[in-house]
Amino acid sequence: MIAALSQGSRNTDSVYKKRKLTFEEANLVSSYYRQDGNNAAVTGGIGSEKLTDFSNSIDLKLSRYDQRGRKHSFTGELGIDHYTSASSDKIDPSTISSASHADTRFYPSLGWSMENEAKGSTIGAGVSFSTEFDYKSFGANINFAQKTKSRSGEFNAKLQAYFDQVSLIYPIELRNRGNGDDDDYATTPRKSFSGSLGWSQIINRKLQVMLEGELVYQQGYLGLPFHRVYFTDNSVHVENLPSNRLKIPLGVRANYFIGDRFILRTWYRHYHDDWGINSNAMQVETVVKITPFFSITPFYRFYQQTAADYFAPYKSHTGADTYFTSNYDLSKFSSHFFGAGFRIAPPEGIFKIQRLNSLEMRYGHYKRSTGLNSDIVSLNIKFH
Amino acid sequence: MKNKVPGLIIFFCAVSCIAISLVSCTTVKEYQKNKLNDAEMQLSSRKIEKTELNFQSYREGASGANGGKTGGGCGCN
């Protein structure tokens, strides 16, 4: 009887604790990215693409159970990126402090989800905001997930919307002089709506797969006002792209635990849009568990795309073209991205600090067939 | 169009492989999920890939179906 009472007391205590808002985890993600190439869109498809970006974000997850036993999770994230761009300084070469020579982007977001463990269902919603000198973005999303009775499969659906404002900062030679303050730029909207469906399935004790499909519709000003395009007659124009775009990416993932030491992570995506871009991307990662708490992960990603219908290199467009761009991100190319990472997650915590759950670092080198190459190093510290 | 057909074939083959796997899938009990629950077995993209996915969505014409962003934010440079 004493044992039963003691058990009852523990249960009551445990339920009481769960109803309080409790800290689940926090993540600090920091990345440094640098790129170089010779096809900057700002200068019409020629010129330096040198760019650096230092990105930091911190996210926090709290949770509590309500009276009906449903788990509510609350997430908050704050991100700050600081970048410098050689090409953006060419918007107005006469001044080194032109609009986007260097800028800082802030992007906070909030999310909530409610999981009914008994029914295997989860609903959630979130909002996000992003601001930098010439761009503002407000986003909102709702999502739903339902596990199968056996808990081996899960269906999920997500709807997202972004409402953006692009400042119309034109190249200096194409600006209309005498329109008031130089920093008082007009803005124009860009909207993005997406719906995604996914299905994840446990195949056996070592293999799980996921299928995901998305439909993305963008509408508004989809080019950028400071992207120059030089025509065959040497005249210079601002990039002009259609005001609608429909994107359809379809992806497949499969993760397989091989023996006790290796995990094979694979991903493939086929993509199609109505601007004429078709692409294929595949990635393979092999997690090698040196010990149960230390692993290294070499990875390789291959990507190829066809050119958008509106792309042509420097001085190739003519006055007969309705839409035109010399942005090489929309050109035909293939790319290779490879590198490695490591992860440490000792049970006693990093540096014996129990709250410091794991530390992960990853480096990758990106090489595009247009000549652009970049390097990225990222760090993720997880607090638990 | 030339590249669209092989892409769809690859996607179809991948889906077919998964469909075959689904047919042969077995029920895995909670206590048998120790390998599936490993942090590095998660199917979604990982936190450390966040900036990678962002730069790929800016430097490439395609985006989506990978946990990365499909809208919002400029990617102007």
H/E stretch holding A336 reads strand A333-344
Of A214, A305, A329, the CB nearest to B65: A214
Residue contact A287–B33, C-beta within 8 A:
no
Tell me the two tokens of residue A204.
């056996």
**How many CB atoms lie under 10 A from the CB of residue A264?**
15
Residue contact B72–A130, C-beta within 8 A:
yes
- AA identity, residue A97: S
Residue contact B52–A364, C-beta within 8 A:
yes
Residue contact A152–B28, C-beta within 8 A:
yes
Q: Specify the pLDDT at position B31.
A: 85
Alpha helix (H) residue ranges in chain B = 4-23, 50-59
Name every chain A residue with its beta carbon within 8 A of the beta carbon of B48: 29, 341, 360-362, 378-380
Helix (H, G, I), strand (E, B) or coil at A255: strand
The backbone torsions φ and ψ at residue A100, rounded to the nearest 5 degrees and listed phi first, read -120, 25
| Torsion sign (Cα): A199, A203, A205, A210 | negative
Q: Does A124 touch chain B (CB under 8 A)?
A: no
Distance from CA of B35 to the nearest CA of A (A): 6
Q: Round to whole Å and give the CA distance between A304 and B70.
A: 18
Name every chain A residue with its beta carbon within 8 A of the beta carbon of B52: 31, 337, 362, 364, 376, 378
Judge contact between A204 and A147, C-beta under 8 A: no
Q: Round to whole Å and give the CA distance between A157 and A145.
A: 6
Helix (H, G, I), strand (E, B) or coil at B58: helix
| Residue B56 CB contacts under 8 Å (≥ 6 apart), including other chains | A303, A337, B63, B68
Q: Does A287 touch chain B (CB under 8 A)?
A: yes
Judge contact between A129 and A139, C-beta under 8 A: yes
| Residue A66: strand pairing partners | none
- AA identity, residue A132: E
Q: Does A88 touch chain B (CB under 8 A)?
A: yes
Q: Specify the pLDDT at position A7.
A: 42
**How many CB atoms lie under 10 A from the CB of residue A17?**
11
Establish how many alpha carbons lie within 13 A of residue A252's alpha carbon, considering only the half-sphere containing its beta carbon. 17
ipTM of the modeled complex: 0.86
Q: Which residue of B lies nearest to A218 if distances are taken between CA atoms?
A: B71
Q: Round to whole Å and give the CA distance between A129 and A113.
A: 19
Judge contact between A247 and A278, C-beta under 8 A: no
Q: How far from each other are the two terminal CA atoms of chain A, in whole angstroms? A: 37
* pLDDT digit string (tens) for chain A, length 384 residues: 344 444 444 444 445 556 789 999 999 999 999 999 999 999 999 989 999 999 999 999 999 999 999 999 999 999 999 988 877 767 776 654 444 478 899 999 999 999 999 999 999 999 999 998 888 999 999 999 999 988 889 999 999 999 999 988 888 888 875 544 556 788 999 999 999 999 999 999 999 999 999 999 999 999 999 999 999 999 999 999 999 999 999 999 999 999 999 999 999 999 999 999 999 999 999 999 999 999 999 999 999 999 999 999 999 999 999 999 999 999 999 999 999 999 999 999 998 898 999 999 999 999 999 999 999 999 999 998
* pLDDT digit string (tens) for chain B, length 77 residues: 445 556 666 666 766 766 666 666 778 888 888 899 998 999 988 999 999 999 999 999 999 887 666 555 555 54
Q: Round to whole Å and give the CA distance between B76 and A329.
A: 11
H/E stretch holding B24 reads none
- 3-state percent helix, strand, coil for chain B, nearest multiple of 5: 50, 0, 50
Of A194, A203, A212, the CB nearest to B71: A194
DSSP A5: H
**How many CB atoms lie under 10 A from the CB of residue A160?**
22
pTM of the model: 0.87
| Torsion sign (Cα): A82, A84, A87, A93 | positive
Structural domains in chain A, CATH included, are 23-383 (2.40.160)
Of A202, A207, A376, the CB nearest to B52: A376
| Residue A253 CB contacts under 8 Å (≥ 6 apart), including other chains | A209, A210, A212, A265, A266, A267, B43
Residue contact A263–B77, C-beta within 8 A:
no
**How many CB atoms lie under 10 A from the CB of residue B12?**
11
| Torsion sign (Cα): B32, B66, A376, A369 | positive
Name every chain B residue with its beta carbon within 8 A of the beta carbon of A166: 74
Residue of A224, A226, A236, A227 lying closest to A315 (CA atoms): A236
Residue contact A205–B35, C-beta within 8 A:
yes
Q: Where are the beta strands (DSSP E) in A232-331?
A: 236-238, 244-258, 262-273, 278-291, 294-305
| Torsion sign (Cα): A148, A122, B72, A360 | negative
Judge contact between A241 and A323, C-beta under 8 A: yes
Of B36, B54, B66, the CB nearest to A251: B66
**How many CB atoms lie under 10 A from the CB of residue A73?**
16
Pairing relationship of beta strands A51-65 and A22-36 according to DSSP bridges: antiparallel
Q: Which residue of A lies nearest to B35 if distances are taken between CA atoms?
A: A206
